């Protein structure tokens, strides 16, 4: 029987994951199906159970279920434990295994696809929600000079800085607190771009040649990237590469093989143009 996979979210119709995994499966000669599945806001666990009963072997999890998915797991990877959130589920026998591949996806996109090594870099992470949580430990593994977490609600950023203090040099505060500082990599992990909002970033935070990275992706430049360009950031990147790389990590968890991401990313990029 063909193994079934899906992405669970609400909303989920916009997801590009089915297209990505169809390409991965064809490339790796894997006979699988992968669909987008809408879970009711109050029915995530029930939807997962029905999917397993129907032969489901694994699932990706997107907004707003990553923390609920974490609680549902019977076993989790170290990455998922650190993030407190799960974006990849694997169903093996009675076990529900949870992993978080967002951080690995981001780091791979920055280091491999964009060719920027993390050691010694000054990193600014904007946001303190689920996406930010998932990438902090993997970024710190790359041995940057330091990581500053800035968020609209400073208390959330400060709580994250305390939680990850043992993993590296981490500072935190609101956007005003980064005035006068400069960074080599500035990552937008807020959902402000989703609503078309700009962030109140102080002038002068982008070091010469710095990378501005927006986790959001879509047609055209996001307000964050437009602002970064105006403020002199050297390079701009959106989150499409992170999306494809986190999907490849999930495919590896499920099928034991890592697909070639370059052609898939190029194809998606063309579709967005």
User: Which residues are known to be catalytic?
Assistant: 66
In angstroms, what is the minimal distance from the CB of 172 to ligand NDP? 12
Residue 63 interacting with ligand NDP (CB under 6 A): yes
Q: Quick one: which of 191, 221, 223, 232 contacts ligand NDP (CB under 6 A)?
A: 191
Residue 25 interacting with ligand NDP (CB under 6 A): no
Q: Copy the structure tokens of residue 185.
A: 């990599």
Give the Cα separation of 273 and 164 in Å (integer): 38
In angstroms, what is the minimal distance from the CB of 139 to ligand NDP? 14
Burial track 20-30 (b if 16+ CB lie within 10 A, e otherwise): bbebbbeeeeb
Q: Quick one: which of 58, 130, 138, 142 contacts ligand NDP (CB under 6 A)?
A: 130
CB 246 within 8 A of CB 21: no
CB 134 within 8 A of CB 100: yes
Residue 58 interacting with ligand NDP (CB under 6 A): no
In angstroms, what is the minimal distance from the CB of 105 to ligand NDP? 6
Helix/strand/coil for 166: helix
C-beta of 192 vs 228, nearer to ligand NDP: 192
Residue 197 interacting with ligand NDP (CB under 6 A): yes
Residue 145 interacting with ligand NDP (CB under 6 A): no
In angstroms, what is the minimal distance from the CB of 191 to ligand NDP? 4
Q: State the helix-helix crossing angle for 262-272 and 240-255, rounded to 10 degrees.
A: 140
Residue 259 interacting with ligand NDP (CB under 6 A): no
Residue 107 interacting with ligand NDP (CB under 6 A): no
Report the site for ligand NDP in 68-97 (rule: CB under 6 A): none
Using CA of residue 262, residue 266, residue 271, residue 273, what is the dihedral sign? positive
Report the site for ligand NDP in 215-234 (rule: CB under 6 A): 215-217
CB 180 within 8 A of CB 206: no
DSSP 198: P
Binding segment toward ligand NDP, per CB under 6 A, in 18-26, 33-41, 202-210, 240-248: 240-248
CB 14 within 8 A of CB 241: no
Q: Please spell the DSSP secondary structure of 83-98, one letter per residue.
A: HT--SEEEEETTEEEE
In angstroms, what is the minimal distance from the CB of 55 to ligand NDP? 27
Give every strand in the sheet of 235-237, ordered side by side. 170-173, 146-150, 122-126, 183-188, 206-214, 235-237
CB 157 within 8 A of CB 179: no
Q: Quick one: which of 242, 250, 264, 268 contacts ligand NDP (CB under 6 A)?
A: 242
| Nearest residue to ligand NDP on Cβ basis | 129
Q: Quick one: which of 86, 110, 128, 161 contacts ligand NDP (CB under 6 A)?
A: 128
Question: Using CB under 6 A as the criterion, which residues of the chain lie in contact with ligand NDP when the complex forms?
Answer: 63, 102, 127-132, 151-153, 156, 189-194, 197, 199, 215-217, 239, 242-243, 246
């Amino acid at each position: 029987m063909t193994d079934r996979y899906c992405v669970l979210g609400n909303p989920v119709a916009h997801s590009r994951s089915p297209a990505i995994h169809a390409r991965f499966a064809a490339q790796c000669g894997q006979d699988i199906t992968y669909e987008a599945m809408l879970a009711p806001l109050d029915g995530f666990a029930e939807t997962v159970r029905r999917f397993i009963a129907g032969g489901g072997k694994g699932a990706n999890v997107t907004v707003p279920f990553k923390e609920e998915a974490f609680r549902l797991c019977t076993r989790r990877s170290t990455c998922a434990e650190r993030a407190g959130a799960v974006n990849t589920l694997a169903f093996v026998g009675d076990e529900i295994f949870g992993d978080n591949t967002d951080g690995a996806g981001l780091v791979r996109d920055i280091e491999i696809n964009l060719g920027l090594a993390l050691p010694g870099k000054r990193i600014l992470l904007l946001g303190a929600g689920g996406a930010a949580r998932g990438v902090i430990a993997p970024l710190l593994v790359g041995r940057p000079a330091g990581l500053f977490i800035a968020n609209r609600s400073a208390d959330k950023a400060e709580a994250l800085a305390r939680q990850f203090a043992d993993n590296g040099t981490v500072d935190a505060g609101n956007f005003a607190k980064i005035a006068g500082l400069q960074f080599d990599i500035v990552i937008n992990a807020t959902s402000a771009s989703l609503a078309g909002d700009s962030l109140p970033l102080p002038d002068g935070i982008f070091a010469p040649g710095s990378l501005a990275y927006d986790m959001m992706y879509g047609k055209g430049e996001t307000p964050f990237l437009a602002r970064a360009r105006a403020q002199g950031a050297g390079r701009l990147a959106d989150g499409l590469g992170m999306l494809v790389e986190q999907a490849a990590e999930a495919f590896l968890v499920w099928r034991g093989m890592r697909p070639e991401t370059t052609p898939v990313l190029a194809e998606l990029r063309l579709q967005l143009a």
